């Protein structure tokens, strides 16, 4: 990869700081913990880290409610700690991407403190304010992702403010050019500090419909997916007016113009809209975002037909843009549980890493994915996530994927010397880094071997993708680049399967990737349970 386009085909390791390593004994991870474990991260063979928010925040949404974009929250450390993290990562050849939460702030941000005081001050129109209807109800029917109406009454102004997330996360008014300029100036602060990229949280939520039109209702049979449960009233609407507005494209172009002043700096946009793949195609490409990802592979549907359909749909819409794929992150149940049930196997964990790393695009791997960690069952009395508390017991929130990294098998899994902010399951301690380090057949060591092997295959890093017809549960495609064509196939079931290659296809098995091996006999492919095939064509 060229220096300026290092992100094409990169494997980006997501670090959730609260849960990575606690070095000061308060039960919450910190920047020093990341620094101490960067050698471990480098051992995985990843290209970059994405560090979830560590900025000053009251932590109502665990850092995604920012009170100061330029300060590190004391919970995590100091700016000097971040500079040391950046220097060590760069010394190890690891790029550093940070979260930027641009669409909203915390109610404790100084901008909002000023804005709420009156309808006539320097920041009065920096947030989305609206008058009540004549009967005192909110200005329209918009809903919050976290439940209930998306409007909160502010008595000091005698108006409602918009919050697409928690009521303590007011939305900025991006129709105001001063807001856009201040936002870009905050981004520039971190680019000047040397970060290599930005993961842009909820980037399609920056603008709202200036006319405040009601969202139309959605039929009950369509209230599925997109990272929230069907019983969440948010799923009852088509969200046509509270996000993904056409004005956002102009802001993305302003943002890209800033990034272009920093050679090699990249952007990765998180996109969740009514048609996320179409929005990705619109947002990603020359003059806009470098990469985008959505929730399409963060669902419960793990069929070959669904995965193929999703990727082919995006390929048809965005043939020249660059996607990024993820099957786990800090907002959804861990992939091995979603796709493997209550007793996921190591073979499944290895397969899922190979699968997401074999699609065309870049990859986000979430901390613990390399260990095959399952979703933790966090009891109600231990819940921290306000989303889960509000929707318990039908939806248990996001705490189950956010439990601390298990570094060892001791009482607190080597994460902290004191009780951690979330409980650590016994199953995670038995799958810890120290346990898996010592096992040559572990998920961890298989992932390490595979990621290094992948780097030697240009077709997997930067190649095109073309799917091949195969019966369920086989997912098969060809990756091609620089004269190299690789046949890739996965048995997505827990039982062995056989598959006949397309007529005239000759394939020679590659076996040096340390995954569940397939066999090829003539035109017959034998895939073991959760089997993986990589073969050279021709």
Active site residue 270: yes
Rounded to a whole number of angstroms, the distance between the first and last alpha carbons of the chain is 26
Enclosing H/E stretch for 36: helix 31-36
Catalytic residue among 201, 331, 375, 385: 201
DSSP H or E run through 159 = strand 159-162
Is 201 one of the catalytic residues?
Answer: yes
Choosing from 47, 270, 331, 385, the catalytic residue is 270
Structure tokens given for 487: 């046949």
Tell which residue, 290, 365, 367, 279, has the closest CA to residue 326.
365
Beta strands in 341-430 (DSSP E): 362-366
Cα–Cα distance measured from residue 138 to residue 193, given in angstroms and rounded to the nearest whole number:
42
Pairwise CA distance, residues 284 & 281, whole Å: 6
**Beta pairing partners, 267:** 198
Q: What are the strands of the beta sheet with 159-162, ordered from one edge?
A: 129-130, 159-162, 151-154
* String of DSSP letters for 217-251: B--GGG---TTS-TTSGGGGB--SSSS--THHHHH
Residue 226, CA distances (Å) to 90, 229, 301, 307, 340 in order: 35, 8, 12, 15, 20
Report helix, strand or coil for 485: strand
**Rounded distance between C-alpha atoms, residue 254 and residue 143, angstroms:** 29
CA distance 477 to 293: 21
Coil/strand/helix, residue 137: coil
Among 268, 237, 254, CA closest to 48: 268
Scored b (16 or more CB within 10 A) or e, 392-418 reads eeebbbbbbbbbbbbbebeebbbbbee
513 close to 533: Cβ distance less than 8 angstroms: no
Task: Count CA within 13 A, CB hemisphere, residue 270.
Answer: 24
Query: How buried is 294 (Cβ within 10 angstroms: 0-12 exposed, 13-18 middle, 19+ buried)?
Result: buried
Q: Is the dihedral of CA 150, 153, 156, 157 positive or negative?
A: positive
Which residues are known to be catalytic? 201, 270
């Amino acid at each position: 990869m060229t220096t300026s386009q290092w992100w094409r085909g990169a494997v980006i390791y997501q670090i959730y700081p609260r849960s990575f390593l606690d070095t000061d004994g308060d039960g919450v991870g910190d920047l020093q913990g990341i620094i101490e474990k960067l050698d471990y991260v480098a051992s995985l063979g990843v290209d970059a880290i994405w560090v979830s928010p560590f900025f000053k925040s009251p932590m109502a949404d665990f850092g995604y409610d920012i009170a100061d974009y330029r300060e590190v929250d004391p919970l995590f450390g100091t700016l000097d700690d971040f500079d040391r993290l950046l220097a060590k990562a760069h010394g190890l050849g690891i790029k550093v991407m940070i979260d930027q939460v641009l669409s909203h702030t915390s109610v404790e941000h100084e901008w909002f403190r000023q804005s709420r005081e009156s309808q006539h001050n320097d920041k009065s129109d920096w947030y989305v304010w609206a008058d009540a209807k004549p009967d005192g109800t909110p200005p329209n029917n918009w809903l919050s992702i976290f439940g209930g109406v998306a409007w909160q009454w502010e008595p000091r102004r005698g108006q409602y403010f918009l919050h697409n997330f928690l009521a303590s996360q007011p939305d900025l008014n991006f129709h105001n050019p001063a807001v856009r300029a201040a936002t870009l100036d905050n981004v520039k602060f971190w680019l000047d500090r040397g970060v290599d990229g930005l993961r842009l949280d909820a980037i399609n939520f920056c603008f709202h419909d200036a006319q405040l039109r009601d969202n139309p209702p959605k039929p009950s049979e369509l209230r599925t997916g997109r990272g929230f449960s069907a019983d969440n009233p948010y799923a009852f609407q088509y969200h046509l007016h509270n996000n993904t507005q056409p004005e956002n494209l102009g802001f993305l172009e302003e943002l890209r113009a800033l990034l272009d002043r920093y050679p090699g700096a990249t952007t990765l946009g998180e996109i969740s809209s009514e048609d996320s793949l179409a929005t990705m195609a619109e947002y990603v490409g020359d003059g806009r975002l470098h990469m985008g990802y959505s929730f399409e592979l963060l669902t419960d549907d793990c069929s070959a037909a669904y995965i193929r359909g999703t990727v082919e749909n995006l390929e048809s819409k965005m043939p020249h843009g660059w996607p990024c794929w993820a099957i786990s992150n800090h907002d959804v149940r861990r992939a091995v549980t979603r796709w493997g049930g209550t007793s996921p196997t190591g073979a499944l964990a290895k397969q899922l890493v190979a699968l997401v790393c074999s699609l065309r695009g870049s990859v986000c791997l979430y901390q613990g994915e390399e260990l095959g960690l399952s979703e933790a069952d966090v009891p109600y009395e231990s819940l921290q996530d306000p989303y889960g508390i509000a929707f318990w017991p039908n939806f248990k929130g996001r705490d189950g994927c956010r439990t601390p990294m298990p570094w060892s098998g001791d009482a607190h899994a080597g994460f902290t010397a004191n009780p951690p902010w979330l409980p650590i399951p016994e199953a995670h301690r038995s799958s810890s880094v120290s346990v898996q380090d010592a096992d040559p057949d572990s998920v961890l060591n298989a992932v390490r071997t595979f990621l290094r092997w992948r780097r030697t295959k240009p077709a997997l890093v930067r190649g095109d993708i073309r799917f091949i017809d195969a019966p369920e549960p086989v997912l098969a495609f060809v990756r091609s680049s620089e004269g190299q064509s690789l046949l890739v196939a996965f048995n997505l079931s827990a039982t062995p399967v056989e598959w006949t290659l397309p007529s005239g296809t000759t394939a020679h098995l590659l076996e040096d990737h340390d995954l569940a091996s397939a066999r090829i006999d003539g035109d017959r492919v034998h895939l073991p349970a959760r089997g993986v095939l990589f073969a050279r064509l021709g």
